[in-house]
């Protein structure tokens, strides 16, 4: 891929950042990425990001867990070796179901929670020994960074960003990757 | 200020009149003579063929097995059993309008009590989202005093003017032959019952009276003294409430089965009243909003109320299942009869309420977007309320009418009667004060609340 140029605008306040995002969006510039040290409420809405669907995946993972629990216990306790254990009715799954509910519940939660977390890691590309994608170390402490793509309109963009209260504006050659 | 619409007032009066007629009809038709019941049972046995006769015999044996096991062959004794069986059924038929009235009265009382507890929690926890709903909650809790008095009066009347139609421990003849009830008679006696009921109702009503008074006084005050007072009494009330609610559930509900006991019963009844109360808050708020009286309540408040409905439906299920599973698992005869009676004669309501109170709300209210749609919350709320009526029905009916249950005229008219009374009292109370708290410290936060 060709190397492209981006502008890094740095802010020191999340309220200023929010109004800057709204202004840049209104001028129809494309915001590539925003780096913040902490979650800024409403930033995703202001940027126009699509809502997450991770809750839907969690629901489905939960159903998988529930199915695993039911199939497993039905096979082990009812089909494979239906012993009489303390007089519990192992004739059918339904008759002995109350005893299985704690496991059904726990496996549902287990699958929903763990698979959702793994999904989150995969979708946000996080794993041990991953190289940090951080353009400026200050963004993990007290600075906010907005990355805007440049398409030959540098000076106009710089002017706009300065107006929005950016304390520092850097033109960066982004490596192709 | 809210004005009680003429239409709704007429509607509530119609409900009460219809309900009263139906309740009267229930009482008129429940007095069957010995011969009538004998005839009824014979025709039922005939209708069911051999099956009816078989259940007849096992029933007589089961209820008096100490006697029956060695002597039931004798003809004289068989006749005695027959008489006993018919008297038993006769009593169950006579109990039905009493039990129907009691279930409905308790159901509406518990809504008001649940809302009162919810209100106290909101005040004590200094919740920032709910103050815009305080006046709705205060309106609903106005039903508590009349509602609770009616419940207790029905209970006492069943043991004084009635023929011990709800609580068999009130019957001295039963107690005389029952060692187990004798052992509990230090707690289960009419005087104690009345004294405890008076203390419960007095305590709840006092809190309701003063919280309302401070809330109204805060509207026109120029400092936060009333707010601080209401905070303090809310904390005190919550302590009082959790003790009295538990004892109330033993007295007013668990003692219909005086041979049975369960330790988490108080919590279980609490969960039921809490979720029904929250549901009614949602329904009445949505009604008032649709009439344009609650413009400051937005979908975010609805979202929060619906979250409570969702969470406490699950909490109710957790307690229901914990109680059921522990008893089913250990299967101790003295405890398990409670559920055997329900499984044999009440399978549909007993298992149906789990679907209504758990499966339905969990699927309907899990999605965050659905919790913000008024008609969706109303629909789910109605199902939850119906489910919790069935829950109370399942607590009272098996001990009073046994397998003679049905949801017919006595049950439906009792619901209509108390629904009408509830609407009348609550909406009258809503007209007494502005629907938005004025100088409450968290009012602004609550109005601007968004989720």
Token pair of B65, please? 């097995």
B251 CB-near residues (< 8 Å, 6+ apart): B193, B196, B197
A164: domain range? 5-37+142-173
- B374-400 and B299-330 helices cross at what angle (nearest 10)? 30
Residue A149 has what pLDDT?
A: 86
Chain B: residue whose CA lies nearest to A96:
B329
Nearest to A115 by CA among A74, A168, A59: A59
Q: Contact B324/A98, CB-based, under 8 Å?
A: yes
Give pTM, 2 decimals.
0.91
CA distance A75 to chain B (A): 21
Q: How far apart are CA B124 and CA B293, in angstroms?
A: 26
Residue B81 has what pLDDT?
A: 85
Query: Do A117 and A158 sit in the same domain of this protein?
Result: no
Residue B114 has what pLDDT?
A: 97
User: Residue B205 — φ and ψ, nearest 5°?
Assistant: -70, -35
Q: What is the DSSP letter of B253?
A: I
Q: Contact A98/B328, CB-based, under 8 Å?
A: yes
**Within a domain: A132:** no
**Within a domain: A82:** yes
Query: Do A27 and A61 sit in the same domain of this protein?
Result: no
Query: Do A57 and A85 sit in the same domain of this protein?
Result: yes
Query: Do A62 and A110 sit in the same domain of this protein?
Result: yes
Residue B62 has pLDDT above 70, yes or no: no
Q: What is the DSSP letter of B130?
A: -
Q: Does B321 touch chain A (CB under 8 A)?
A: yes
Write the DSSP string, chain A.
Answer: ---EEEEEEEES-HHHHHHHHHHHHHTTPPEEEEE-SS--TTHHHHHTPPPP-HHHHHHHHHHHHHHHHHHHHIIIIIII----STT---SSTTTTHHHHHHHHHHHHHHHHHHHHHHHHHHHTT--TTPPP--S-GGGGTT-EEEEEE-SS-HHHHHHHHHHTT-SEEEEEEEPP-
- pLDDT band of B54, cuts 50, 70, 90: very low
- Start-end of H helices in B125-188: 134-141, 144-160, 172-176, 179-184
Using a CB-CB cut-off of 8 Å, the residues of chain B touching A63 are none
Which residue ranges of chain A lie beneath pLDDT 50?
A: 1-2, 177
- pLDDT band of B68, cuts 50, 70, 90: very low
CATH of the domain at A21: 3.30.70
**Within a domain: A130:** no
Rg (CA), chain B: 24
Q: Do the beta carbons of residue B341 and residue B400 sit within 8 Å?
A: no
- pLDDT band of B72, cuts 50, 70, 90: very low
Residue B113 has what pLDDT?
A: 97
Using a CB-CB cut-off of 8 Å, the residues of chain B touching A59 are 366
pLDDT in tens, B214-249: 999 999 999 999 999 999 999 999 999 999 999 999
Give the least confident one: A78-82, B82-86, B117-121, B378-382: B82-86
CA distance A101 to chain B (A): 9
Token pair of B434, please? 């502005």
Q: Do the beta carbons of residue B308 and residue B277 sit within 8 Å?
A: no
**Within a domain: A152:** yes
- pLDDT band of B1, cuts 50, 70, 90: confident
Q: Contact B329/A98, CB-based, under 8 Å?
A: yes
Chain A: residue whose CA lies nearest to B368:
A55
Q: Does B375 touch chain A (CB under 8 A)?
A: no
Using a CB-CB cut-off of 8 Å, the residues of chain A touching B366 are 59
Residue B77 has what pLDDT?
A: 64
Using a CB-CB cut-off of 8 Å, the residues of chain A touching B368 are 55
Q: Contact B325/A101, CB-based, under 8 Å?
A: yes
Q: What is the DSSP letter of B440?
A: -
CA distance B325 to chain A (A): 6
Residue B67 has pLDDT above 80, yes or no: no
Sign for the pseudo-dihedral over CA of B422, B427, B433, B434:
positive
Residue A36 has what pLDDT?
A: 95
Chain B: residue whose CA lies nearest to A105:
B318
B150 against B51, higher pLDDT: B150
Q: How far apart are CA A152 and CA A155, in angstroms?
A: 9
Q: How far apart are CA B138 and CA B127, in angstroms?
A: 16
Interface test with chain B among A45, A58, A98, by most B beta carbons within 10 Å: A98
Q: Contact A98/B331, CB-based, under 8 Å?
A: no
What is the end-to-end Cα distance of chain B in Å, rounded? 28
Chain B: residue whose CA lies nearest to A56:
B367
Q: Kind and range of the H or E element at B338?
A: helix B333-345
Q: How many residues does chain A have?
A: 177
Closest in B321, B366, B368 to A101, CB measured: B321
Q: Contact B331/A59, CB-based, under 8 Å?
A: no
Residue B51 has what pLDDT?
A: 45
Using a CB-CB cut-off of 8 Å, the residues of chain A touching B324 are 98
Nearest to B8 by CA among B448, B430, B438: B430
Rg (CA), chain A: 26
Residue A175 has what pLDDT?
A: 67
**Within a domain: A23:** yes
**Within a domain: A72:** yes
pLDDT in tens, B256-309: 999 999 999 999 999 999 999 999 999 999 999 999 999 999 999 999 999 999
Q: Find the angle CA(A58)-CA(B353)-CA(B146) to the nearest 5 degrees.
A: 115
Closest in A55, A87, A98 to B325, CB measured: A98
Using a CB-CB cut-off of 8 Å, the residues of chain A touching B329 are 98-99
Chain B: residue whose CA lies nearest to A95:
B328
Q: How far apart are CA B235 and CA B256, in angstroms?
A: 32
What mean pLDDT comes out for the span B358-371? 93
Looking at the structure of chain A, the number of domains it has is: 2
Residue B213 has what pLDDT?
A: 96
**Within a domain: A77:** yes
Residue B275 has what pLDDT?
A: 97
Token pair of B77, please? 């004794």
Query: Do A67 and A112 sit in the same domain of this protein?
Result: yes
Residue B142 has what pLDDT?
A: 96
Q: Contact B366/A59, CB-based, under 8 Å?
A: yes
Chain centroid, CA A174 distance in Å = 24
What is the average pLDDT value for chain B, to the nearest integer? 91
Chain A: residue whose CA lies nearest to B366:
A59
User: Residue A4 — φ and ψ, nearest 5°?
Assistant: -120, 160
Residue B76 has pLDDT above 70, yes or no: no
Chain A: residue whose CA lies nearest to B327:
A98
Query: Do A109 and A72 sit in the same domain of this protein?
Result: yes
Residue A5 has what pLDDT?
A: 85
Q: Contact B321/A98, CB-based, under 8 Å?
A: yes
B413 CB-near residues (< 8 Å, 6+ apart): B18, B19, B20, B21, B22, B23, B25, B26, B100
Q: How far apart are CA B218 and CA B241, in angstroms?
A: 24
Q: How far apart are CA B20 and CA B424, in angstroms?
A: 15
Using a CB-CB cut-off of 8 Å, the residues of chain B touching A101 are 321, 325
Nearest to B363 by CA among A18, A131, A59: A59
pLDDT in tens, B348-362: 999 999 999 999 999
Residue B52 has what pLDDT?
A: 43
Q: Do the beta carbons of residue A153 and residue A16 sit within 8 Å?
A: no
Q: Does B240 touch chain A (CB under 8 A)?
A: no
A27 against B108, higher pLDDT: B108
Q: Do the beta carbons of residue B282 and residue B381 sit within 8 Å?
A: yes
**Within a domain: A15:** yes
Residue B75 has what pLDDT?
A: 55
Token pair of A140, please? 């993990």
Token pair of A35, please? 């780096």
Q: How far apart are CA B308 and CA B130, in angstroms?
A: 12
């Amino acid at each position: 891929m060709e190397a492209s140029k981006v502008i890094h605008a740095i802010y020191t306040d999340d309220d200023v950042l929010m109004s800057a995002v709204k202004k840049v969006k209104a001028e129809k510039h494309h915001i590539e990425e925003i780096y913040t040290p902490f979650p800024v409420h409403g930033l995703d809405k202001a940027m126009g990001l699509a809502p997450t669907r991770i809750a839907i995946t969690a629901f489905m993972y939960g159903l998988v867990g529930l199915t695993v629990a039911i199939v497993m216990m039905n096979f082990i306790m009812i089909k494979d070796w239906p012993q009489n254990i303390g007089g519990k009715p192992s004739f059918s799954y339904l008759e002995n179901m109350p005893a299985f509910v704690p496991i059904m519940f726990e496996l549902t939660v287990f699958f929903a929670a763990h698979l959702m977390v793994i999904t989150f890691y995969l979708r946000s590309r996080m794993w041990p020994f991953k190289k940090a994608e951080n353009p400026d170390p200050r963004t993990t402490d007290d600075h906010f960074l907005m990355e805007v793509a440049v398409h030959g309109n540098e000076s106009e963009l710089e002017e706009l960003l300065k107006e929005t209260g950016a304390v520092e504006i850097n033109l960066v050659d982004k490596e192709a990757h | 200020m809210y004005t009680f619409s003429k239409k709704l007032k007429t509607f509530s009066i119609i409900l009460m009149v219809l309900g009263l007629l139906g309740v009267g009809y229930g009482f008129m038709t429940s007095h069957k003579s010995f011969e009538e019941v004998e005839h009824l049972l014979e025709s039922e046995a005939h209708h069911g063929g051999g099956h009816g006769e078989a259940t007849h015999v096992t029933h007589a044996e089961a209820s008096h097995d100490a006697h029956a096991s060695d002597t039931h062959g004798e003809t004289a004794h068989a006749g005695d059993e027959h008489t006993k069986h018919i008297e038993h059924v006769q009593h169950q038929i006579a109990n039905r309008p009493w039990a129907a009235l009691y279930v409905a009265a308790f159901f509406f009382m518990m809504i008001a009590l649940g809302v009162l507890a919810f209100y106290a929690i909101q005040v004590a926890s200094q919740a920032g989202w709910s103050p815009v709903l305080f006046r709705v909650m205060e309106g609903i809790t106005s039903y508590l005093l009349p509602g609770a008095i009616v419940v207790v009066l029905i209970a006492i009347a069943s043991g004084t003017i009635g023929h011990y139609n709800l609580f068999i421990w009130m019957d001295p003849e039963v107690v005389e032959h029952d060692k187990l009830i004798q052992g509990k008679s230090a707690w289960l006696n009419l005087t104690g019952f009345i004294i405890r009921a008076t203390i419960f109702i007095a305590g709840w009503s006092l809190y309701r009276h003063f919280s309302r008074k401070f809330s109204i006084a805060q509207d026109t005050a120029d400092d936060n003294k009333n707010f601080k007072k209401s905070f303090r009494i809310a904390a005190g009330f919550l302590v009082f409430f959790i003790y009295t609610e538990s004892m109330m559930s033993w007295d007013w509900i668990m003692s219909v089965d005086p041979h049975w006991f369960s330790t988490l019963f108080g919590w279980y009844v609490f969960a039921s009243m809490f979720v029904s109360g929250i549901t009614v808050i949602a329904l009445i708020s949505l009604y008032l909003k649709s009439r344009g009286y609650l413009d400051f309540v937005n979908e975010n408040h609805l979202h929060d109320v619906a979250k409570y409905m969702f969470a406490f439906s699950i909490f109710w299920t957790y307690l229901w299942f914990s109680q059921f599973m522990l008893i089913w698992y250990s299967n101790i005869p003295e405890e398990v009869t409670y559920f055997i009676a329900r499984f044999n004669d009440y399978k549909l309501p007993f298992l149906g309420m789990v679907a209504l109170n758990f499966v339905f709300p969990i699927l309907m209210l899990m999605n965050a977007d659905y919790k913000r749609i008024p008609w969706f919350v109303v629909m789910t709320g109605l199902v939850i309320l119906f489910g919790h009526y069935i829950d109370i029905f399942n607590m009272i009916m098996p001990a009073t009418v046994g397998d003679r249950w049905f949801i017919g005229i006595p049950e439906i008219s009792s619901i209509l009667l108390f629904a009408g009374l509830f609407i009348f009292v609550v909406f009258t109370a809503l007209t007494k004060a502005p629907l938005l708290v004025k100088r409450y410290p968290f009012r602004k936060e609550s109005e601007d609340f968004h989720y």
